[in-house]
Amino acid sequence: MTSSRFARTGRHAASVRVLAAACTLASATVLAGCASADPSTGPAAKGGTSAFKPVAQKAGAQITVWADSTRLPSVQAYQKSHPDVKMKIVTYDGGADGSTYLQTKVQLFDRTGEGWPDVVFGTPTDVTWASAPTKPGATPFAAPLDDKLVPKNTLDGFAKGSLTPCQFNGHTYCLRNDIAQVVLWYNKSLMDKWGYRPPTTWAEYEALGQKVAKDHPGYLVGSVGDTNSHESYFWSSQCPAFNLTKADTLRVNLQDPKCTRMATLLDKLISAKAVTTQGFFSQGFAKNSGSKVLMAYGPSWYGQYVFKAAFHTPAKQIAAAPPLTWPGETTASTGNVGGGVWMVSSHSANLKASTDLVTWLTTSNENQASAPTYPAYAPAAKAWLANPANSNYFADDVSGPFQQAADEVWTGWSNTKFSDATSWSSVVLPALTGGKSLVSTLPAWQKAISDQAKANGYKVTDR
């Protein structure tokens, strides 16, 4: 008995000692003040505070180029016309649909200290992280192109505001390849046949949608089901969903009348079945409903990529109209869906060849006149519009609407460190598919954007 009690007391004492030691240790840590767990690379982190120092340059060194499949032929064309430049061309997803492949890889290259490609095609979102270090002490991936690499008069030739997503801390980290200004696409043959005129205001658009739903059920005047539909509709409505008021402060206010007016309008057309919640790019849409699309409010590349390539609409049927206006507006504001950028790696051992390549890709008529999408470089855009290959598919001349829309892209929709598609696709679209209305989903969307912004280090405000 005695011995067993002693053993128990002994054990007890031991555990008390362990506990005491743990407490001392814990309080020691508290007293010493544990270091903050917050990563030091938020949006407030300064990129390129010290001057850009290129690595040792090697004339004629091979450059590695990462491009998406759409821009691959352009890179190959450069290689063909510049056979003396040693190039290794790699195809990747180019950041489509919010993919973060490039970012993932660069994070790893920054940790291993090697492997970076010299030139990459990416999305404006990519520039937000590429212009800042991915970890303390790392050099930002993108080289500041305005720093003795690309002449100022070349940079000045880009369409107004098209280089804004490239600019951080007073430097320009990318050259914009193309812009994707939103216009109103319509099937001119069907509109003429049914005696409709393309709308010029949102009120007319809504009225025509209701009319189509009644007179020609099954035909559609738009879709909200794609990963980027919000950029066509809510951006055009000047909704403050992704509005950076300062470099680190994001304004999100989906209860703003400029958001609710668009949500209300779309809800009415969705319940009338004139606007579908299935995406143009969703499985089976082209086959089942592609021929039923009377109108689509979307980017300049819809003509070639949605109507021609996906829906196989015959030539000379599709036309474009300028962006729609809201009451009280004299000039429209419109959205922008994508538009890629080219970046040069700050780790490149052949900056000369890399810079020459991105300059040729973005500004030369030789490449851009026959580019798949609308060039951001203004002189090249003129050449693009003059190229019959870019317009002979359409029923009408698209130059007017395209040029007008390019100047009307609203600048209040900011380029954030996180993709604006994630919250829309994973929160709003499933709710719409489940039968909820857009208006009733706005609070959930607001919360999703705010949460994501905070997780990426932004301060969030709703006014």
Residues that bind another protein (CB under 8 A): 29-30, 34-41, 97-100, 103-104, 107-108, 111, 129, 134-136, 225-227, 277-279, 281-284, 287-288, 418, 421-422, 425-426, 429-430, 433-434, 451, 454-456
37's CB contacts (< 8 A; 6+ apart) are none
Q: Residue 78 CB, nearest distance to another protein (Å)?
A: 30
Cβ proximity to another protein, 139 vs 334, nearer residue? 139
Phi, psi of 245 (to 5 degrees): -90, -30
Q: Residue 453 CB, nearest distance to another protein (Å)?
A: 11
Calpha distance 321→448 (Å, rounded):
34
Q: Which two tokens stand for residue 233?
A: 């509709």
Q: Residue 92 CB, nearest distance to another protein (Å)?
A: 14
Other CB atoms closer than 10 Å to residue 272's CB: what's the count? Answer: 17
Cβ proximity to another protein, 42 vs 161, nearer residue? 42
Cβ proximity to another protein, 14 vs 108, nearer residue? 108
Q: Residue 101 CB, nearest distance to another protein (Å)?
A: 9
Cβ proximity to another protein, 151 vs 430, nearer residue? 430
Pairing of β 318-321 and β 295-299: unpaired
Cβ proximity to another protein, 89 vs 96, nearer residue? 96
Three state DSSP letters for the chain: CHHHHHHHHHHHHHHHHHHHHHHHHHHHHHHHCCCCCCCCCCCCCCCCCCCCCCCCCCCCCCEEEEECCCCHHHHHHHHHHCCCCCEEEEECCCCHHHCCHHHHHHHHHHHHCCCCCCEEEECHHHHHHHCCCCCCCCCCCECCCCCCCCCHHHHCCECCCCCHHHEECCEECCEECECCEEEEEEEHHHHHHHCCCCCCEHHHHHHHHHHHHHHCCCCECEECCCCCHHHHHCCCCCCCCCEEEECCEEECCCCCHHHHHHHHHHHHHHHCCCEECCCCCCCCHHHHHHHHECEEEEECCHHHHHHHHHCCCCCCCEEEECCCECCCCCCCCECECCCCEEEEECCCCCHHHHHHHHHHHHHCHHHHCCCCCCECEHHHHHHHHHCHHHCCCCCCCCHHHHHHHHCCECCCCCCCCCCCHHHHHHHHHHHHHCCCCHHHHHHHHHHHHHHHHHHCCCEEECC
Q: Residue 431 CB, nearest distance to another protein (Å)?
A: 9
Q: Residue 212 CB, nearest distance to another protein (Å)?
A: 22
Cβ proximity to another protein, 362 vs 419, nearer residue? 419
Residue type at position 299 = P
Q: Residue 424 CB, nearest distance to another protein (Å)?
A: 8
Cβ proximity to another protein, 98 vs 412, nearer residue? 98
Cβ proximity to another protein, 276 vs 354, nearer residue? 276
Q: Residue 129 CB, nearest distance to another protein (Å)?
A: 8
Cβ proximity to another protein, 377 vs 458, nearer residue? 458
Cβ proximity to another protein, 107 vs 189, nearer residue? 107
Q: Residue 107 CB, nearest distance to another protein (Å)?
A: 5
Q: Residue 128 CB, nearest distance to another protein (Å)?
A: 11
Cβ proximity to another protein, 81 vs 426, nearer residue? 426
291's CB contacts (< 8 A; 6+ apart) are 311, 313
Q: Residue 35 CB, nearest distance to another protein (Å)?
A: 3
